[in-house]
Chains A and B, each alone.
Chain A
């Protein structure tokens, strides 16, 4: 039995855990304000909020309900557009009306929900702005400028919140209905009954994390699938530093990474990198391990962690084994993983003081798009002489690649323009891109060369960039 709060009502359902939350909301609960635009998390028309207790705090995150399993709503507060309506228009809705930020109106509830998510988020630790909150919402009518003006009004309003409890402030300022103040005690009660500590069922047909890949790839099969839910398992969550290593549970999301003090300390440009990874609601749902297991040749997080030489702890429910991510991929969508195994933990050595890291990604649309080519580099150096390097690349082979030869070549080299060009030559021999909808093979080859140049230009400012970008 799945039990949660839907807007202002507690509900239970015996529908399968793999039912898309969107279908439950629209077709079982007749809450039609949540719209269907694409069913693959790329338009944001079905955005809802999922609230849960994190420690003693009630934390809301936006999610695209088309990719969220009903089972992952268990024990949470699910908020749809109907759940944020008050007597008149709430502050965000009024801002949209005043600025003409709604034309055909179909995308509007999704935008409103994303902004409610911005207003009630508990921390600004993720470094993201109100505009970033709507990064997953596509509007085909307005050209976004009126939406930007409405977003600015909302951001201004929230700027006055200060240290106040965001939910209390939102209720007091016509952003949220009063019932939001009653949610926390109910969720605390749920928490005691959570299934989060129940061991993973390794006999299930499918392991499901955040759902952002499975609900896209296997949409029709999900409803009736025999699913083992991983997302809310306590032992699969959390990021912590242990000595010089960083440990993450398999269900850690991209947003968890963004909010983690460990990551923010060791990757000063983290926000810049992760802003290039999908959108706010997808980052809230997508897990790091899911990105690994999905085995997409262009997985952003996979490329990120290949450069860092991350290690996986795989479990079959009885015993565990450890495996470098760099050895996880056997061929196109083929993994060194048995059907009953799932990733339990991921760990990597944090970059030492003075170490360098960079992530590059280019796609047709800079944000909320799948890379044509992405690449990451991790370097330890001494006076511009490279001691150790890890270079990875996606979109240029059947699996996300650790560029072993190029990484080896870099070791011991002094960074010069000529050396960069030599490294590019070697990288070219390690890749085998194909032409597809994300670009021709020629483009991907050349783009990787450019992105390798970008790594070195970004990390070694003494280099003569002009020499590297000669036509």
Chain B
């Protein structure tokens, strides 16, 4: 089934936040944000701004009617800077004006006196100074201390991954509209309508039933609008609450980039031990997460780094410790994979290191240690694994040995360009690791003309969740999908929603919808059985008809609904779903946090231009564990999109802050995401169809986040190509590998000679 939004999307008729028709009297907001990363906020002078054309008000922390606080997990994040500023881009004042241009012009007239304080941008430095968001956490299985002496090979090293800008093409924004009796309605571009509702309530002081949050769809989220949409919604709602006028704020791209957090950079130490048969025996890591200036979702992201730091491998002895470090960067946040990719990079880096030293291909170690069903993960869950199945199928289908030979032949024949290859297996746990969030509700109405409207807590952001929800209802009622609509996500229709995140949205909201539809269907079947005077278990719905023992009766769906309504049968249902069997005890860091795991294996091949340092991805060939895909078109799109986003993170996407904590990669001209030429030339996807029972909706496994991690293979493929050109090269395990790094790593010795020479010659301007 095609994406239900494809009609309006391709015609430009889909409505996003900035497309909502404006009410008369709407004010436009713009932020004056901190120009420095850390300092004492001595004073704010907004007098000139207040006199500026069209300006109605300028708000600061003094104007907050509730609490000046938007922290989600930990209340450590003021909405407006009060005594101190903690990062460049922190909101200090909000201008409200008659037009967006007037608001932007007035912002430029605001000044603040800020006494500078020392700026920390580096996670390890923060940890050394005791600047932690939460106490460190350690996951442990077996005993690494006693395991090291039994290892034939032990290697230690460090590795780093940088952040990643979400770059949803629709920037953040909100539109708050005062209603009668003090209610505020907030349109928000958020993945978490309830998170927005809570933040708005805290800041305005309104109770939750006075705040309605509505989300039609997002122009991309990727985690960036999970908690970080709260700021703009809270600012607009506060302003609407105070002025009693509608207030809109749709961020300019550069505001968005400098004021919002990104994927967390991590810096890690690892120690890996193998026996003489290349079985992994022991693994230790200490990893430092750069959380930015406030907790945001960092503690939860940190947890998932620990959950996934052994990726697809069974390792009997693991000690993994993670520090969430407080720095003066914008609070980093959720991003597709949610700390998992950063954790997986560490084990892949350690394996690459070990393979190089031992003199084998990394794929030999990878394949030798894949999880099998029943293996215990460091957090205590016994896995139901498809890791070996995915690997074997990939090998069989794509012929790993042949690929390696072809690369070797190519490299022999070519002097200036070299190919490299890497295999990337993945294992990703599905569920919010915070067990309580694994619940969802769905509200289904059947109207008397037979059409259906569904409301859930799911937010459509391109992942196709609404299409899958329509499929669920169409399946249960056996009616045409065109007769089913999914409503906007609204906190008045569906309360206490979990954010659309953790890849679990379709599972949770799909299952709740399945329950609601099934309840209605059961009532209608009972009614039909009575009407037709047949046993209820002989009734089914097929192709818009009521069937008896599989044969169409005189009753069709519409007639049935009308008759049932006339007999006062309830045609609406609200249902609640909570994932069964999951639990996790943080005091011992053990439990069964995931409903299931998703597996896959990707083979990535790259060609590096060793003259210019540039690269192109020839192909990514993968086998992915979809369970039993309920929508191949949408699921394929998630794999392709996630993969390319992962490749971007590992290659060209380079976030640059200067030493003062100012973002230098602050626009699309300086932060590059993959374009159409940068996508791999070929992406082959094989659907590993498994019929094993799982907790996924229609056994169709969650597909949002896992494919991003295939992109990690891009780093190692390039690294291998570098070594194929220069076997003596020692490329550090630092992602991303930009064309600059490729050149610097290819020619490290030559460049050192050049630098020495330049120094002695005192050539102009050299730093």
Q: Interface on A for B, CB 8 Å cutoff?
A: 26, 30, 32-40, 42-43, 45, 80-82, 85, 89, 92-94, 96-98, 100, 102-109, 112, 131, 134-135, 137-148, 216, 220, 223, 360, 362-370, 372, 428-429, 432-443, 445-447, 449-451, 453-454, 457, 465-466, 469-471
Contact = CB atoms under 8 A, between A and B. Distances in A.
A141 B220 contact: yes
B37 interface: no
B699 interface: no
A130 B164 CA distance: 30
Contacts of A93: 10-11
A143 B645 contact: yes
B416 A469 contact: yes
B654 interface: yes
Contacts of B665: 437
Interface string B663-676: 01101111011111
Contact of B669 (A26, A370, A443, A447): A370
Contacts of A42: 667-669
Contacts of B117: none
Given A443-B743, A453-B611, A107 B11 contact: no
B188 to A, nearest CB: 16
Nearest to B653: A364
B761 to A, nearest CB: 7
A140 B673 contact: yes
19 contacts: A37-B170, A97-B2, A100-B636, A102-B6, A103-B641, A131-B676, A139-B169, A140-B220, A141-B462, A142-B637, A144-B644, A216-B669, A366-B614, A366-B678, A372-B740, A429-B761, A440-B740, A446-B744, A446-B750
A78 B613 CA distance: 41
Contact of A35 (B170, B415, B750): B170
Given A437-B656, A450-B743, A453-B611, A367 B677 contact: yes
A425 to B, nearest CB: 9
A104 B217 contact: yes
Given A40-B667, A369-B672, A138 B169 contact: yes
B569 to A, nearest CB: 37
Interface string B112-142: 0000000000000000000000000000000
A441 B767 contact: yes
Contacts of A457: 416, 611
Contacts of A26: 18
B613 A362 contact: yes
A122 B749 CA distance: 52
Given A104-B170, A436-B664, A465-B416, 10 more contacts: A33-B11, A34-B12, A40-B669, A102-B5, A107-B169, A109-B11, A143-B644, A364-B740, A442-B744, A471-B746
B219 A35 contact: yes
Contacts of A98: 2
A291 to B, nearest CB: 15
A112 B10 contact: yes
Nearest to A433: B765
A89 B217 CA distance: 21
B220 A106 contact: yes
B86 to A, nearest CB: 24
B19 interface: yes
A32 B170 contact: no
B637 A81 contact: no
Contacts of A135: 675-677
Contacts of A103: 3, 462-464, 637, 641
Contacts of B3: 97, 100, 102-103
A365 B678 contact: yes
B652 interface: yes
Interface string B724-767: 01101100000000111001101101110011001001011111
B517 interface: no
Contact of A97 (B7, B219, B634): B7
Contacts of B586: none
Contacts of B644: 142-144
A93 B8 CA distance: 10
A96 B464 contact: no
B652 A148 contact: no
A115 to B, nearest CB: 11
Nearest to A33: B12
A138 B640 CA distance: 15
Interface residues of B, number: 98
B652 A140 contact: no
Contacts of A435: 767
A450 B613 contact: yes
A468 B683 CA distance: 35
B743 A144 contact: no
A454 B611 contact: yes
A131 B675 CA distance: 11
Contacts of A92: 10
B578 to A, nearest CB: 29
Contacts of A470: 750
Interface in B641-667: 641-645, 652, 654, 656, 664-665, 667
B415 A145 contact: no
A109 B463 CA distance: 18
B173 to A, nearest CB: 10
B6 A364 contact: no
B13 A364 contact: no
Given A143-B643, A362-B739, A365-B675, A32 B612 contact: no
Contacts of B614: 362, 366
B233 interface: no
A81 B670 contact: no
B754 A446 contact: yes
Looking at B462, B633, B746, the one whose CB has the most chain A CB atoms below 10 A away is: B462
Q: Tell me which of A112, A364, A470 has the highest count of chain B C-beta atoms within 10 A of its own C-beta.
A: A364
A272 to B, nearest CB: 13
A43 B171 CA distance: 12
Given A45-B169, A469-B415, A365 B672 contact: yes
Contacts of B616: 366
Interface string B49-80: 00000000000000000000000000000000
A443 B740 contact: yes
A220 B105 contact: yes
Nearest to B20: A32
B168 interface: yes
B12 A82 contact: yes
B191 to A, nearest CB: 12
Nearest to B682: A145
B382 interface: no
Nearest to B104: A220
A106 B672 contact: no
A22 B667 CA distance: 19
Given A89-B11, A220-B104, A428-B763, A140 B167 contact: yes
Contacts of B668: 37-38, 40, 42-43, 138
B9 A102 contact: yes
Interface string B163-195: 000111111000000000000000000000000
Given A365-B678, A368-B675, A97 B6 contact: yes
B606 to A, nearest CB: 13
B611 A81 contact: no
B719 to A, nearest CB: 15
Given A39-B253, A108-B9, A362 B728 contact: no
B101 interface: yes
A440 B672 CA distance: 17
Nearest to A447: B743
Interface string B1-30: 011011111111111101101000000000
Contact of A365 (B13, B166, B652): B652
A360 B636 contact: no
Contact of B676 (A81, A85, A137, A432): A137
B371 interface: no
B520 interface: no
Nearest to B711: A143
B758 A428 contact: yes
Given A96-B10, A365-B672, A471-B729, A105 B754 contact: no
